[in-house]
Structure 1
Amino acid sequence: MAVLKVKFTKTKRDKLAQVLWILNWISVVTGILLFSLGLFLKVEINKRGELMAERDVQYVPNMLIAVGLIACAINFLGGKICYDCVDAAKFLRWKLIMLPYLICTFFFTFCVLVGAVMCYAMLGELQEALELGLTRAMRFYKDTDLPGRCFLKRTVDLLQIEFQCCGNSGYRDWFQIQWVSNRYLDMSQKEVLDRFRSNVEGKYLMDGVPFSCCNVNSPRPCIQHQITNNSAHFNYEHQTEEQNLWMQGCRQALLHHYSSITRSIGLTVLVTWLFELSVLTGVRYLQTSLENVLRQGDPNSESEGWLLERSFIETARTNLNIIKSLGKSNQIDAAAHADPNINAPSTSKAHYGPDDVPPRPGPAASCQ
């Protein structure tokens, strides 16, 4: 029994073909949109690539770019097919192509759905890449005179100013690393030497942060050194002075920035998937209804269209049997290539040793 059977008159078939022609051209525009969104996400990730660890987070924008290009090609072909299918006679040109086209479009539509899911799933890997990348960037913050790290300080400062954040998870992360270069430290001062000696790894650690951590909305001048020493500043309590520095960590700020982008893109891709699914459904109805018209022989007659000619269970069982038969034929072909002598007739002659006596021929048969 056919699934979701619908009856179509000649007028309804023509209108369906015209509407699908328009929808396919709209789908070409959505393909360009997917390509643009993937390109935008790729640029946003590369823009702050220095602040991320080497993790494979480019697969999502790359997939969106590929899906967008394929969408343009598939829907352009679908628009041409639907335009010709207004006339049942022209449908004969595309009859053999329609089924492979529908199968390819189905798998493409599934890839669009996978792309929408991946937009939400990439946040976990992005969080790990940001956590490791920001820790590395803060560690090399002071190395302004080393090749490859000359502009890392500028990158971190601009990040903290733009996103109003400080450190990886908070401003206290700067207390655990040496972010001041040795060439700016006076080694003749006892205080500097004591700080080096007090640390096991021989680093100059202090309770201070870079200037980019200062909150521009603070009512008092920024206190970026001796932050935890209340007596070093007038009328100061570091546990309550939350307006002095940015409290949010840069990892959370960047993750929020990228999550808002990926969620918006994921929602757009999901809507695109629903739109593509509706177009695919319409093309399937158009194909089956026109094939039934060709069977009847009258182009003006009514015809039935459906999504599946049999039920879901019967269709799945048929496809499973086809896959099993293909698998068995592949196994037979592989075995034949591995041993070409299988089932081959024996053409070897008998060999006898020196003590063996060959059998004598029997008496000739009588002709009588």
Structure 2
Amino acid sequence: MRRKTLLTLVTVFGLAASPAVASASQPGGWEGTWTASVQKPGDGFAPNWSVKGFADQTVRQVVRVSQGGPAIRIQLSNKYGSTPLSVTGATVGRTGPGAAVDSLRPLSFNHRDSAVIKPGGQLASDLVFLPVRPLEELSVTLYFAKPTGPVSYHFAATSTTYRASGDHRADRDGKAFTETTSSWYVLSGVQVVDPNPRRDVVVAFGDSITDGVGAAENSNDRYPDELAERVRGRFGVLNQGIGGNQVLFDTDLAGEAGTKRLKADVLDQPRVRTVIVLEGINDIGFSEISFPGVPPRPRVTAAQLIAGHKELVRQAHAKGVRAVGATLTPFKGAGYYTEYGEKVRDEVNTWIRTSGVYDAVVDFDKVTADPNDADSINPAYDSGDKLHPNGAGYKAMAAAIDLGSL
């Protein structure tokens, strides 16, 4: 125990003496405990604060970590910004009721209270001594004194974010935070110090079903959340899902194609061992309908999607990352369902199950299917749109993952 305590102190103080860096992948004892893939500012599927940005306003955002540690740092992103982003100040603490916060700590950047993030860049805070437990909720508060213009964000947080006029980063009771939204802004990650670092982080990568659309607000019922509850902090579980994202195609609405964003969102994260890939249903569905923000294109084929999955596996293996393939879940009755699309889904799922290209397979299709109609989602797991699972469905998906495959 004494040796472990000494190792922890050496690691923490060593990192505390190091300046904040822009690279998420820098080693040195850091591991991811929470992430969100950032998107271009836009009205998206619903109004939000990303396009207008912030001016003399404070934003308080709630996240739940997957693994614990003796100290933390946060990561901020200006990936899609066209001008430098000024962050006047920031704090972090343990989440209380609503916008309230406890154990509040000021954050610094290169030993300064404020920071400027260059266009396209990201920035990590300095280490802050705030011990966190697995599955604990943290509130990260950012104050923007100057107008930011449009900001990078993550649309489908399924978590309440709070806003107040003026500088309220040090407020504990949260009473000034009278406005709310369900997206995250600028915040892209939380990392913890691991005194005995090893390559064991698992990243869930995909679309809205990985993102947790269909789960209840503030429930932390996304399938990666449920997986994190199963492992109880033995390793980090990161969520890099984006609602509407596709394997093959970029959209302003839902980000770069999976084959393009895998590097930044997964492979550049520190100490990633395994990626779980659940993606492709939007490539199928959006090629069948017209939808704002999604350019029209010819129907996608199973061969094209399979080639995209092969590319994802190739990239993962090139970095020594294990790839687990997840079968595409049922979507009969969803807004973009067609019989042709179902045929493509079946072909892709058969390939995922039988090709041997993935290192392991989790059969989310079978887990979530209606016992009386395999092309439809089980009514007990349906959030209501015939596409996205509810909390019970996400829990069943996480329970189906063989922990030994990770």
* Common topology (TM > 0.5): no
Larger strand fraction of residues: 2
Larger helix fraction of residues: 1
TM-score, normalising length: structure 1: 0.25
Q: Which has the higher contact order (CA 8 A, sep 6+)?
A: 1
> Based on CA coordinates, which of the two structures has the bigger radius of gyration?
1
